Each structure stands twice: as C-alpha cells, then as structure tokens.
Structure 1
Amino acid sequence: MKNLKVTTAILVIAFIGFTAMSCKDGKKEVSNDEMHSEMNHDNSDGHHDGEENEMAMSDDQNGSSENILKDYFNLKDALVADDESKGKELGAILVESLDNLDVSKYTDDQKSELNDIIVDATEHAEHISESPMEHQREHFKILSKDVTDMVAITGTENTLYEQFCPMYDKGSAWLSMSKDVKNPYYGSKMLTCGKVQKEIN
C-alpha cells in the first residue's frame, strides 16, 4: 500500500511537470491551430480572418490566377501550422489550379512567360505533394518566386505583401495577404521571423 502511494505521488509530480513544460509552447500551438482552422472554415459570426476566406472564389473564377493564389495561401498556412499531411494535400490541389490557368487573354510574350512559370511552379507543387515537411519548405521557396512572377504579369484583385525571412536558406521570400508575419519556413520554431519588404497592389 505504501509503495502504491509513493508510485501515485511520483506519477502526479511527473504529470504536473509535463503539463508545465507543455504550456510554454501552448500559446504558439493555439495560434497555429486557430490559423489552420481558418484555412477551411468561416467564423460563425461572419468575421473573416483567414486568407482563404478573404479570397473566396466563385466557380467562374476557376482557371484564374486568383484561384492559384487562394490555393498558394492555403498551402502557406499549412506550412506555418507545421502540418505536413495538409501540405501534401494542398500541394496536389495547387497542381490542378496551375494546370487550369487560362492564359488566352494575355499577349503572346506574356503567354510564353506564364507557361514557363506554370511548368516550373507545377514541378515544385508536385514535389510538395509527395515530400516531408523539410522538403516541402525547400520547394515552397522556389514556388513562391514563381507565384510572385505570375502576379507581376496577371496582377491581383487583392493587396498582397511580399515578406522576407533572412534566416532561412540565406534569405527567403513568400507572399501573404496580411502584414502580420507568419513564417512558413520555420512554422512554430520561429513563427514571426521576417518582415514585409514589398506591397503588391
């Protein structure tokens, strides 16, 4: 009986210690979980915080650059949330959006440039759909450059922010619809590492 009490006391102390340690990162985890849930759901009060919500698409926009941007931002949010399986799923969705881009309204030179961008971006989106998180982030860096180059030609209906992290791979950029920095290259490890370096209208 005495041994049972001692064992129980040890387990209680261990549990309290574990709980205290877990709470240190709890705030970051909650913010990541909340942001992850915003990627796919509207808030019940009608207020929209997530980038996907701000870029809600109608069916007739399938094949537009805005649809590619929506899927790109969803992928970015999955990387911010350290969600490898969601990253793979969204990488595959982005491949489809890239494949559906309608370039018919652009000049011949723009069509040629866009086709080159889409080929390269598709390759990186495919890699993301099949890779672990570390490699998803490596391919996301080049994918972000491709998407930025696409926006330079197609324009955007929304104000975008090019953000930059000096720490990842000698400096890496990405696009966001918010000025708030949420780093897709480090996720919860260094969530706010970076700065806005350019506004795209």
Structure 2
Amino acid sequence: MKTIKRSIGSVALAATFMLTVSCKDASKTEATTTSEPTTENTVASQESVTTSDKQDAKAEVILKDYFNLKDALVGDDGEKAKEFGATLTNSLKAFEVSNYSADEQSELKDIIEDATEHAEHIAESDIKHQREHFKTLSKDITDMVAITGTKMTLYEQFCPMYDRGSAWLSTKEEIRNPYHGSAMLKCGSVQRTIN
C-alpha cells in the first residue's frame, strides 16, 4: 500500500513539476496541457458551441466588452479593467432574451444575472480580485455564446496554472493569458475553436 501511495505521489509531483516548468517562462513555447482539464469550472470540451440563426447585436456588444476587459487584464491594467467591467455590466443589463425559446430565455437570464454580478465586482476591485471574478465571468460568457452563437471565430484557451486551471475566450489563437498577465503571458493552450 505504501508503494502505491509513493507511486501516486511521485506521478503527481512529476506532473506538477512539468506544468510549472512549462509555464514558468513566457519566452518559451506555449505550454501544453492535459487533454482533459479536471476542474469543474472548465467548460467541457465536448460541448458544442455553434452559430445560431438568432444572432443578437447586443450579444456581440457583450463579447466586444468582454474582450476589452480580457485585454486589460492581459496588460496588468486594473484601472482599465474596472472601466471595462462597468461597461460590460451595462451591456449585460441591456441584453434582451425575448428572441429565444422559453428554455433558452430561462438559461440566458441566469447566465446574464451571474455574469453581471461578476462584472460589477470587477468594476470595483483590485486586479487580483478582478482575475478571480474573470474566471467565472468567462464561463458565463462561453455559456451565453453556446445559446446566442456568434459571427466571430473564437478560441477557448486554458491555463493550467491559475486556480487549478482556468479557461477564457479570445478572438486570436495566440495565447495572451489574462490570469497572469506579463508574469506568464504565454502560459496556456487552445482547447477548442468555436464557430
């Protein structure tokens, strides 16, 4: 039994070491991640996000504001992130769900309510706390896109080093990590392409 525990401990230590080394230096090549992240907050890669006939201009505005917020976090700019958090809050509150089915409306209302709460916190917090809320906000925005669709090609990206693994959306395939900013700018990998 002790041998099994040591073996499991050795494998876990080796995996942790490999991930740490792979994401430690931003000038190195992009880190690789396991094919299936194990956090419950990560959107499962099997989920399908497709373009819907129900395109909503307000959903596209929400995405634009989300990407501005992400870019502020990538640039380690907490003040700009506060501004974009407030802008995103307003965009989320202006979103209209009436064009969707009853089930979609119910789901979208829950998503928008949760995303609004996180955007409000980002608008009032320091950068460390902003990044904590950005993790859940990113999941909410990904869930919203699964229903609303988008005209853009998006990349769901994943960093194994932030809070046991965290995902975010980007319009570019190149990794620019909003959770670590300049400290680990290129840490992560593309999990999937949306659209």
TM over 0.5: yes
Equivalent residue number for residue 172 of structure 2: 178
Shift of the alpha carbon at 1:63? 5.9
Local SS of the residue matching 1:130: coil
Moved over 6 A (4+): none
Are the equivalent residues in 1 in contact too, given 2:56–2:148 (CA < 8 A)? no
- What are the equivalent positions in structure 2 for 1:14-163 lying under 5 Å apart? 64-163=58-157
Unaligned runs of 5+ in 1: 1-26, 28-60
Q: Distance in 1 between matches of 2:109 and 2:190?
A: 28
Shift of the alpha carbon at 1:102? 1.3
Q: Which has the larger share of helix? A: 1
Local SS of the residue matching 1:184: coil
Q: What do residues 135-172 of structure 1 show as CA deviations (whole Å, max 9, x unaligned)?
A: 00000000000000000000001010000000000000
Over the matched positions of the two proteins, sequence identity in percent amounts to 68
The CA RMSD over aligned residues, in Å, is 1.5
Q: Distance in 2 between matches of 1:106 and 1:119?
A: 16
Are the equivalent residues in 2 in contact too, given 1:128–1:140 (CA < 8 A)? yes
Are the equivalent residues in 2 in contact too, given 1:62–1:100 (CA < 8 A)? no
Larger Rg: 1
Q: What do residues 94-124 of structure 1 show as CA deviations (whole Å, max 9, x unaligned)?
A: 0000000111110010000000000000000
Shift of the alpha carbon at 1:62? 8.7
* Aligned: 1:167 with 2:193: no
* Aligned: 1:197 with 2:191: yes
- Equivalent residue letter for 1:150: M
- Equivalent residue letter for 2:92: L
Q: What do residues 75-99 of structure 1 show as CA deviations (whole Å, max 9, x unaligned)?
A: 0000000001000010000000000
- Equivalent residue letter for 2:61: N
Local SS of the residue matching 1:64: helix
- Equivalent residue letter for 1:168: Y
Q: Distance in 2 between matches of 1:62 and 1:171?
A: 31
Q: How many residues align?
A: 142
Shift of the alpha carbon at 1:64? 1.4
Are the equivalent residues in 1 in contact too, given 2:157–2:189 (CA < 8 A)? yes
* Higher RCO (CA < 8 A, seq sep 6+): 2
Equivalent residue number for residue 11 of structure 1: none
Q: Distance in 2 between matches of 1:93 and 1:62?
A: 18
